[in-house]
Structure 1
């Protein structure tokens, strides 16, 4: 049995690696090939290209890489024709994966989308592509199965694969202990994102907010969790410019979250990790004025943070707005979030200062996060997805026989 993967995000590489291992544990003869990243390669997937090197944002930057994407798409289609894999598994990365799905579908190869794109939040008109070219939509969030099924897509909720990784992860305990025991002053971890463009757009504001926190809570320590060395070098340069005393670490994100009293983070799947560790966190996503206008036109949900979506009672309001800390409508929000083209550093700092100085407020938030964690942070998504894929392919095999 041969399965072709197409994965382009660092987080997708993580989920893909877990799925590859789960599949191979069920059928030792399964061959996993295709596009992915280093984690998938380490799990036993034969990579044709490392797409995670092209994890980009916004149409302007994507256009610069169009020749590469067309080349990879042609390579995938030639492989489909030549090797006829038993299935194609897509993970996130919809801009490219829509085309991979179409090529596979046109050749009669079953397509599984593991971790469906969040069409309900920004592009419901693309449901036609999902309905036409995806045979099995495996959903990460509880409300997605019904949303997709109501629109004619064969969808199944299997849980969020990120929690699989979190439940299995082993922390560098000595490093965490050192962070906690060096001083009794609180540690605030800064999480500027896994994409270089996110770091460029958000880190300056996060450092500015950190300086405001330090002014109001003297002695507060800060540490930046960088995804890779090149981003760490960028972070160190920004830290030097800011004049803030702040450590920068690579490959220590779980430990820096675990040791923190609070965090300031860029929006992304890291919010699920923050929930898992029940860390009070404020979320930033700084974009250009043009990008802000574009998202305002197309966004269909009030929140950009997955954790906040999981607590919302009205997922799809008639007139979506953005989070407002003063609004009773947002009283349920666990992670204050700021999607903005303006300076909101005072707001960021205000939340962190409250958590560092008001024990009752902080504990109330932690208790609410714990309740949600107990409801949604269950592992097993990779196992359920592997069972589903193997079961469906074996069923197809019996029908063909």
Structure 2
């Protein structure tokens, strides 16, 4: 069995690697090839291109890299033609992955979407592409299958979010967390995002907010959690410029340190957090950490995006709760005062802190169900191996069928 996987972001690379392990547990002879990152390579996949290096956002960035995307698309198409894989698995990364789906479908290769893009939030019209090119959608959120069914696509099953699997299996560096706790002062974790552009756009506001909070709470220290050393170097440069500007305005210098590869540990020991929007919000929920969510964009990008945004919230935690448990700001403005206000409230009012923590813990109890990766692996293999003759099944764009009744739905309880 040969499976092609396409993942274009660090989080998708991790989800894909875990899916590889889960499929291999059930099908030891399975081979994996595709686009992704180092986690997929560590899991034993043959990487045709490190697509995570192109974890980019917005229209201009895509345009500037169009030649690379076209070359990769042609490479994938040749692979589908010559190697005839048994399946293609797409992991998030909408845009490019739609074209991969189109090419695979044209070559008669079944297509699965694991951790699908949130079409219900901003691009509902793209469900037509799902109907045409995707054999099965392995949904992360419990309300997604019904949304697809209402739009004429029955081949969606809720497997859960794989991020919860990773969090349950993660080992923390206890020596590091102990050393941080021993400092004995309130800690505010700053999570500036996993993409370079996110750092460049959001970190200046987060740095200014840190300087402003230091003015009213000089006892608070700050820890910036970066994905890797390259981002750490970039963050230190951005912070130096931003804090120099803040000093010109008379703001004090915050007690701030930048870390690489310490995000889980810093979330564990922090008292509050400021975070760029992303799947990390699920980790923040797991730790019941009071958090403000920021997503800074250019004014023109916000103008273009606003008409397409259909969801009530941009944060996964708030979507799961159907309530703004994490105050969120999708903005083109400097909202550093708002960030400071929330932090001051939580740090200065134990009852407010306790209420927010309790709300997040309650949501964790109902929403954070592990096992998504295993359920996804079982669904993919069931589809590829085919149902028993008397199974109740549905059919996707290709000829084989799979019984959804054979795949446990964690949202059915």
The one-character-per-residue Cα deviations of 1:335-387 (angstroms, maximum 9, x if unpaired) are 00011111111111100111111101000111110110000111100000001
User: Does 2:367 align with 1:376?
Assistant: yes
Q: In structure 2, what is the equivalent of residue 269 of structure 1?
A: 279
Counterpart secondary structure, 2:206: helix
Contact 2:9/2:52, CA 8 A, preserved across alignment: yes
The one-character-per-residue Cα deviations of 1:196-231 (angstroms, maximum 9, x if unpaired) are 000000001001111121111121010100112222
User: Does 2:39 align with 1:29?
Assistant: no
Contact 1:286/1:339, CA 8 A, preserved across alignment: yes
- Out of 387, 393, 398, the position equivalent to 2:384 is 393
Shift of 1:265: 0.4
In 2, the alpha carbon distance for the partners of 1:266 and 1:294 equals 20
Q: In structure 1, what is the equivalent of residue 250 of structure 2?
A: none
Shift of 1:235: 1.4
Q: In structure 1, what is the equivalent of residue 291 of structure 2?
A: 281
Q: In structure 2, what is the equivalent of residue 359 of structure 1?
A: 350
Q: In structure 1, what is the equivalent of residue 309 of structure 2?
A: 299
Q: In structure 2, what is the equivalent of residue 310 of structure 1?
A: 320
TM-score by length of 1: 0.93
Q: In structure 2, what is the equivalent of residue 327 of structure 1?
A: none
In 2, the alpha carbon distance for the partners of 1:334 and 1:9 equals 26
Contact 2:201/2:296, CA 8 A, preserved across alignment: yes
Q: In structure 2, what is the equivalent of residue 168 of structure 1?
A: 169
Counterpart secondary structure, 1:94: coil
Shift of 1:233: 1.1
Q: In structure 1, what is the equivalent of residue 65 of structure 2?
A: 65
Question: Which ranges of structure 1 fall in alignment gaps of 5 or more residues?
Answer: 313-331
Contact 2:220/2:255, CA 8 A, preserved across alignment: no
Contact 1:145/1:156, CA 8 A, preserved across alignment: yes
Contact 1:239/1:246, CA 8 A, preserved across alignment: no
Contact 2:88/2:109, CA 8 A, preserved across alignment: yes
Counterpart secondary structure, 1:246: strand
User: Does 2:22 align with 1:12?
Assistant: no
User: Does 2:193 align with 1:193?
Assistant: yes
In 2, the alpha carbon distance for the partners of 1:179 and 1:239 equals 21
Q: In structure 1, what is the equivalent of residue 178 of structure 2?
A: 177
Deviates more, 1:291-300 or 1:167-176: 291-300
Contact 2:200/2:238, CA 8 A, preserved across alignment: no
- Superposition RMSD on alpha carbons, in Å? 1.3
In 2, the alpha carbon distance for the partners of 1:213 and 1:232 equals 22
Contact 1:258/1:277, CA 8 A, preserved across alignment: yes
Q: In structure 2, what is the equivalent of residue 343 of structure 1?
A: 334
Instruction: Count residues with an aligned counterpart.
Output: 380
Q: In structure 1, what is the equivalent of residue 108 of structure 2?
A: 108
Counterpart secondary structure, 2:352: helix
Q: In structure 2, what is the equivalent of residue 247 of structure 1?
A: 257
Contact 1:239/1:245, CA 8 A, preserved across alignment: no
